[in-house]
Amino acid sequence: MKNALITGVTGQDGAYLAKFLLDKSYKVFGLVRRLSTPNFWRLEELGIKDKVEFLDGDMTDQESLNNAVKLSKPVEVYNLAAQSYVGTSWKQAVLTAEVDAVGVIKILNAVKDFASDAKFYQASSSEMFGNSAKGEVKSEDTPLHPTSPYAISKLFAHWMAVNYKDSYGMFVSCGILFNHESPLRGIEFVTRKISDGVARIKLGLADKLYLGNLESKRDWGFAGDYVEAMWMMLQQEDPENFVIATGETHSVADFCREAFEVAGIENWKDYVAKNEKFMRPSELHALKGDSSKAGKELGWEPKVNFGELVRMMVEADLERLSK
């Protein structure tokens, strides 16, 4: 039985990854911050909360990360912990940097010192590309030009992970994942805000859905597909960085149109209104990824398409709110 340590195990990706690894007979350890009310709803929804061994720890505390690595004795470490909401990163830029940037140095140090043979996955982000090479499909070789405190923190962590690989001979792979969604997505993210809002309107619980920039375009995939790519990266003989994406781009307006259609509601524009408070100080206009390297070297490809993803999310929120 292989041991795996997941930071951010209670998040969307952490929960799907934990289930994926459990299904492959791993012993899964999950790093959890000490909270008065722990947030395990995703793990409970997947039916795996009692199958994960939780370890207290915090990305800002070196000693707790050292202890987590020593106790779990991992052969694979997946660093998914982050302040992951881009909008919040402007309001909490220092916290975002402490967790998403400096915290990565701390978990890398813990692995280097106490599990040097473990393979390490760093969750990098397509947000690092920013508005560089406008209109171009982004690959592993595309220049990086982040446009938010979140993206800048992720860029720092990305290069620090590469540096530890080069400096200490560690097996470190960075997954540059484009937007990936699911019914387990946090309510603050635009896709889940849409699926939840549409469900509320359908059930008569709301009249309007308030959003920011409807013209922003993203390459959206299913989180369950993307965690498989994380695992595939750590099964390789040599560490490499990979872009993971669908290669398709859709606007926020497209997501709205599709979601209202799933719910059987016509004239979606009658129910959607812009709210300036959801606009970003610096907008990332469009992202589209080229995952051909992952297809060629990992054999990875997305299984869930855009329409299936939207349907999955809207139907899940309709079921939740109906209860």
- Rounded Cα–Cα distance for residues 278 and 96 (Å): 19
Evaluate the CA torsion angle 13, 17, 18, 19 in order and state its sign: positive
Active site residue 78: no
Active site residue 125: yes
Beta bridge partners, 172, equal: 120
- Smallest Cα–Cα separation from 243: which of 155, 178, 157, 300? 178
Catalytic residue among 16, 78, 121, 150: 150
Catalytic residue among 84, 89, 124, 125: 125
Gyration radius of the chain's alpha carbons? 19
Task: Say if CB 215 and CB 256 are below 8 A apart.
Answer: no
Task: Say if CB 9 and CB 220 are below 8 A apart.
Answer: no
Catalytic residue among 72, 78, 89, 127: 127
Backbone phi and psi for residue 244, each to the nearest 5 degrees, phi listed first: -120, 120
Task: Tell me the two tokens of residue 94.
Answer: 């220092």
DSSP 100: I
Active site residue 216: no
Backbone phi and psi for residue 202, each to the nearest 5 degrees, phi listed first: -60, -40
Q: How many CB atoms lie within 10 A of CB 299?
A: 8
Active-site positions read 125, 127, 150
